[in-house]
Structure 1
Amino acid sequence: MIALNLDHAAPGKATPLLGLGHVGGLVVFCALLHLSARYNYLLFHTLVETIRIVVLGSIFVLAWNARRWVSDGFLVIVGIASLGVAALEILHTLAFKGLNLFPGYDANLPTQLWIAFRYMEGIAFLFAVHRLRRPVQAHFLLTTTGIVTVLLATLIFSGNFPDCYIEGSGLTPFKIVSEFILIGIFSMCAGAIYLQRQHFAPSVARLLIASMLISALADFAFTSYAGVFDSANEVGHYLLFISSFLLYRAVLVAGLATPFDLLFRSLKQKETELESKVVERTSALRKSQALNRAVVENSPAVIYLTDLDCRYTLANAAFERLVGRPRREILGKTAFELFPQDVAFRLDRRNHNVIATNQPLLETEDVGTSQQGETRHFKSVHFPLQDEHGAVVGMGGIATDVTDSLIAEERYGAIIRSSMDAFMMVDEEARLLEVNDAACELSGYTREELLRLRVSDLDTAVDEPKLQAAMHNIARDGSSRIDSRWRRKDGELRDVELSVQCLVHGGVPRYYCFVRDISGRKAAAARIEYLAHHDLLTALPNKLLFQQQCHAALLNAEREGRNCALVYLDLDDFKAVNDTLGHAVGDALLCELAARVRTLIDEHGLACRVGGDEFLVLVGDAGNQQRLAAFAERTLALLAEPVQLDGTFQTCTVSLGIARFPNDGTDFDTLYRKADMAMSQAKTAGRNTFRFFDEAMHAQLVERRHLLSLLRGALERHELRLHYQPQIDLHTGEVIGAEALIRWQHPELGVVSPARFIPIAEESGLIVPIGNWVMREACRQAKAWQDAGLPRFVVAVNLSAVQFRLPDFCQTVADALTDSGLSPDCLELELTESLLINDADGVLETVRELKALGLQLSIDDFGTGYSSLAYLKRFDVDKLKIDQSFVRDMDRDADSAALVLAIVQMAHSLGLKTIAEGVEHEHLAAALRSLNCDEAQGYHFARPMPAGDFEGWLRNVVASPEDR
């Protein structure tokens, strides 16, 4: 709104619409009105109403004359409505009690007129806010306002308007209710203006809201007077006057005074801006002159001016370099004084020709420079200088050195002619304009034949519309790279790569094309693509391609409602074939088995080699589980058939894991993971068999992974503990040693059995740091007990095969003994039978190094493995530990008792001691004594105990030897 939002655009400091001076004036005027009311109430009423009528009329005049420039309907609606309100208010003023201008009417008439124009005023403001930011028809509004005004006046003067005041009774219910309705209307107007305040200047919005709220208060005052001259009526007119004053400041001052204020401010600002522009233009002129001087001075072109006598009046730095003289030696001289005579004659003739013809002259000329007598090629323009009357007063020249450009053009031509890439220049109609020898060689056409062809005669990849579209895009973008296929004259197709540059010469586009034969590169790329997605040995797809194909196949199966299965094949003991027969035979076996795998694929099936000796097969139409089992049986039988290789027959079995779609999973990763788990179960079950995935496998895997994640930080979190179980001499009852047993105390899981976490530690490699910690901690604790005065005994530590095979294992043991200070003969390492059998030579060397340290070695769980005399004789061990499974049953099973006796006798014959584990009752201890077994451990003597409890137990045993 141009009239009511001027605060947003006012430059500088705007005049406030309501300041302290205005408020003071308002208070003074109210005081004068109060005095007039005391003097004559009729005078007071007439003054207030007259002021309002003047304000309303002024608003109408402003709105009507500004309607062409007002961008929305608020001011127009309020202004036109003000005319109708003012008309009714004039009647109200003239009809007021005491003037008696309307005989026959009492105080009811002005009250009715009051209600009428207040309704009209409130509704007009509410409607104006509603139509904010919307255009309105001013003439239509004026007509409507006039009709409504006349209609209301007619209803009132004809007696058809409800009574509002009754002499002797006061205000009627209609009057009171109407006042409260008006209170609501003006309050709604205030709220609506507040919600739409962003469309008003802030000060205008505040004044309008205040005016509406005070109007509402005025209506409230007019609800309680009994006579037209009482105090309530007077207070209401004060409020009405204040409301009119605020409306006057909001609309008239903002719409009239403020714009003029802004106008003068704008004029002053324009004057300032004009002065600033004069300064700016003067500065720009100086900059332009400086720029011109800089351009002339720094231009690589030779620039000069002469007078009519052909004497130089201006020369730039390039001219100085050309003649090899400073400017002071150039100005005022002629060409004959600066250049060789032949050059000077040419220049002088051209200069006089330009002066005589008064026309510019373009030339290409050779000029010898002073620099080593070099001749440079110039393209020059010589032009006349004219005064304001057109008379020639001299001449000027600009000469551009094009020597380097000419040399570059010659080099460019040589490069094009000798380029190994085909070169073609093409016009906008795709006709060939120029070609080199490589283009003839690529296409098989002669130069003359090519120049009669169009690009579409060579390019088989595009038709005419596509060719024109491609040329349009190249012209738009400037350049492009395109892969296409061209046909040679002999019909052979060649893959080509085009690098096209579009340049416009004289408004005519030319396409410069370098064409490279990439047929070999394409073939190599295709080969690389094949190798990237296939197994080179078997020609089967690799896992990457299989995964992509499997994704599409599973989607098709889902749409068609087919069951599928992913089968994971792992050859059994294939490493032995490579190790014994060589990799060449192993590769040949893989190729034959891969060929057999191909025969397993159905219409919807797929196969791939995962790597090594592993394959994947997707059964595209698996049917039910019985059908899959039959397929697995056929696969086992097919792959187990002997293969003739190098004159011998080789047999290789396979373990299968099967995951079903959609039962076990709907995506490749899930099926692959579950088929792998099932295959591992088949391996565990003895190989040459198959297993279907079930959730129990998944649960075991989840538990193992969970335990592994917890175990990784167990050592750092100090969750691992060592318990010690005493070892007893069966004949003396003395404590001769203690076995260190690891325990895992997890804060959430509680005590985790070693049987659960030791295999996981061995598989993950965590057994190495854990085993090293056990070694160090056991040595440290044994030494601490000795230092505390306890009897000297041997501490036994179990070894893992993973830990034992480490190249630095012996050094680790030596470091543990050194760091703890424990004597080597107080440490015993327990080895397993399987550890001694595998890699016997390497184990023998490690055993020798350990014995050289002075510690003791025992074989754990003897009798459950190979139990061979050969390795007992070969390896220098000290003790055999009889497995508890034999010890516990020896009193009930004669075979177990005989086996224990045989072990004891064999050990003694070899000079070895024996120790029985799992002794839980005295009768077992007695039986072992009778068999001459040397030592024992078990719950009969003591359970495994923490270090502190073990120390207390041992002190008690030492103090009470009779209790042994």
Structure 2
Amino acid sequence: MLLLTPGLWLLLLSWSFPAAAEQSVIEGSFLLTLAALGVLSLALALTWLSLTRRSRALDAQRQDFQQLLAETPGAIAILDRNLAVRNASSSLKSLLKEQDNSSVSISLPLFADADGQHALDLTLKQQLRQQGFWHGEAWLKNERHCEAFKLSIHTLRQQSSKEPRYMLYGQNITHLRSQSARQQQQVLRDDSTLLPNQLLFTEQLRQAILSCDEHYPSVALLLVQLRTSPTATMDATPDESQLIEAAKRLQLLVSDKLVLARYQSDCFAILVPPHLCQTNSTILLNQLAHKIIAGFRQADPDAAYANLRLAIGISCSPNDGEDATNLINSAERALRLASQQQDHALCFADSGSQQQAPDYLALESELYRSAAQGEFELFYQPKFSISSNRIAGFEALLRWPSPRRGMLPPPTFLPLVEETGLIINLDRLVFRKACKQVSYWQQTALMRGRLALNISAQQFAQTDFIRFMQDTLSEFELSASLFELELPEAIFNHPTIWLRERLHSLERMGFRVLLDNFGDGIASLNQLRQFPLHGVKLAPSLVRYIEQQEQQRNICATLIRLAGYLQLDVIATNIETEMQAYLLHVMGCDCQQGHRFSRAVPAEDIGQLLLKENQLLNNQRQLAN
């Protein structure tokens, strides 16, 4: 308590009346201050209590969120403006090779494809800036994982001064995709062999038939059925393990260019597409069937399929059926006929093909023997200049005087020759024989123009091709300027630089180089312009219908005119009628060959052919005078 002196008490008493009022004001102010301080303290206490509760709630939410990140099987992540991961679920961290901690910063490798060729980074950033969200499927791919996800990414609300953050949520759908693929495979593929089943194969056959046109008019079907022994009927089906091993054997024997399917439990089907099924396809199909038979006949005795016997039925459109159903029915009828034989057997649905089909194994043996002994011969078809009505050159055409089958033209044996690689030896044999013949013609004054030779794509690609041509010319003391080389469009499959250098080498040697079958393949005007070619030879398919079809006439005229712009010579072949020759001449094609002028003749008939030409020219001069 405040102690006052007597003097002060007297002073206070002297001021007692006016001081009483002032004291009342002071006491009131003091009480108000105390009340305000109490209210403030209460407010501070309540605020502290509220903040404590909020902090505890945030901590609980943070713990719940971290627990969610740790336990959820889905992909959850907080992304920064660069779409780098700032925090993520444990499942996502494991895919990103990160330790399970709350602060990570690593780029998210999202792609539109499983191969990792198309990154989604720019697409995501652009759409998130424009729309604030992104939904879709993506592949998370790094050196360890390749997983498919269904994702949603949203922009998080925050103050404008802060950098944008994004919330990612996703579900791993890799298993669902695999399951869906397996379900689809079960619908379209055989469970045991994974080959196309009957449903898928029938649709593929139908599509192949629909793709046929005048250039590739046929598809072929082979049905291969298996028996357990030479004396078993077709009802004696091998067990599943044998059929699985047989399917593996067939996959080794059948080219990837063909379609192999499991048509029935004991029957496999092979589709030969239009671009591989040539007009004269009997030898090709016979070759394929015998290759399959030989592959099983020569099997390892311990193999599961060693005691199986094959029956093969073959049909070919449009002769044996113009749609899938009829073509299959024809192949099944042929298969039943083949199954009646005791050993490996094949049968064509068409009786004519069955009678004409040569024995593949014997044919191959004969070809090798004839090539080794040089028994192949060259016939020569003249090329005529319409403007001068004279022979402007010859084309050497291969013929095979088979001891068993007589004189055979190339379509009957070239598919087999190309398949076995024998075409390289034959091409070289042809060039040597041609050089010998040209040397004789020069000595006897029978040489006219140049001699054209067909060079196969296999021969053209040989590393010693240029050296062989040089050495052969040197051996016969001939100039390359006496020859034209007709090359197939398959040469354009080679690298551009390599091809240009090879063609320039031939040009420097003196050869004239022509592109064969122009207009019937993939050759473009740009290729004709950039490579050193001297001319083109129109495809026979372009000439065949120019009398009847205006469109064909327009196409031929356009190609001839464009070749002229590129300063390329144009040769037309397979001329059968005088009208064809006249129309092509009017279009600007002067050099022509075909049966209209002369068939291919043996070398000994060339002198008589030239003599006949001179007689005709003399008669024309006499009539003119």
TM-score, structure 2 normalization: 0.48
Q: Which has the higher helix share?
A: 1
TM-score, structure 1 normalization: 0.32
**Higher RCO structure, 1 or 2 (CA under 8 Å, sep 6+):** 2
